[in-house]
């Protein structure tokens, strides 16, 4: 094809370039048509599943709500969970389906947590309780309330014309140590 282009008249090459540009813009427009409000999600359950070696595996059940007036077709889901501003767990699922307009569905996503992630989190919590770098005050004693742990859950629902991304953030409060 590239050997033929120099032989074509310049007006034809310009028209071809404009056609390619218009096609690219049209495809980008189709991918962006979904728009609307972001999906909402809630973790509705966590169950342990078999892992390998030093990893922990869990099946996370997510209730995904579609607040838009068009359905969302998805083909795969990916999630990432950060705790205390550190990566903690990741997971993917080849689940396929549709979330109806103004509807919801529950998805199961297997996630993996490495032993190193668990150790980093435990070290951070212990450091926070003893006045370490995570916001604990010096002299925190057993029975005192711990600082809330910030989390960020982000992910995407894959689709034919692009992905629908979601984000949830907040804090987790651990019970008092006695």
Contacts 24+ apart (CB under 8 A), 75-78: 75/158, 75/159, 75/160, 76/157, 76/158, 77/107, 77/109, 77/155, 77/156, 77/157, 77/158, 78/155, 78/156, 78/158
Tens digits of per-residue pLDDT, 124-176?
A: 666 655 554 444 444 445 555 677 889 899 999 998 778 888 888 888 876 66
User: Which tokens hold the place of 134?
Assistant: 């995570």
pLDDT at res. 135: 46
Tens digits of per-residue pLDDT, 83-121?
A: 888 888 999 999 999 999 999 999 999 999 988 777 877
Domains of the chain: 37-137+146-172 (2.60.40.10)
Is it the case that residue 29 has pLDDT exceeding 50? no
| Mean pLDDT, rounded, for 19-44 | 58
Model-level pTM?
0.63
């Amino acid at each position: 094809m590239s050997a033929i282009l120099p032989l074509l008249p310049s007006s034809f090459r310009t028209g071809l370039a404009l056609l390619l540009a218009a096609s690219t813009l049209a495809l980008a427009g189709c991918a962006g048509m979904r728009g609307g409000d972001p999906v909402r999600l809630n973790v509705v359950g966590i169950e342990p599943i078999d892992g390998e070696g030093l990893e922990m595996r869990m099946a996370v059940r997510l209730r995904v709500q579609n607040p838009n007036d068009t359905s969302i077709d998805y083909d795969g889901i990916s999630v990432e969970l950060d705790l205390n501003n550190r990566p903690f767990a990741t997971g993917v699922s080849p689940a396929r389906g549709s979330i109806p307009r103004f509807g919801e569905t529950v998805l199961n996503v297997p996630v993996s947590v490495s032993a190193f992630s668990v150790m980093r989190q435990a070290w951070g919590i212990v450091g926070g309780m003893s006045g370490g770098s995570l916001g604990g005050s010096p002299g925190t004693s057993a029975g005192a309330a711990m600082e809330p742990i910030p989390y960020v859950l982000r992910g995407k629902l894959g689709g034919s014309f692009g992905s629908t991304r979601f984000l949830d953030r907040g804090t987790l409060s651990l019970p008092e140590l006695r």
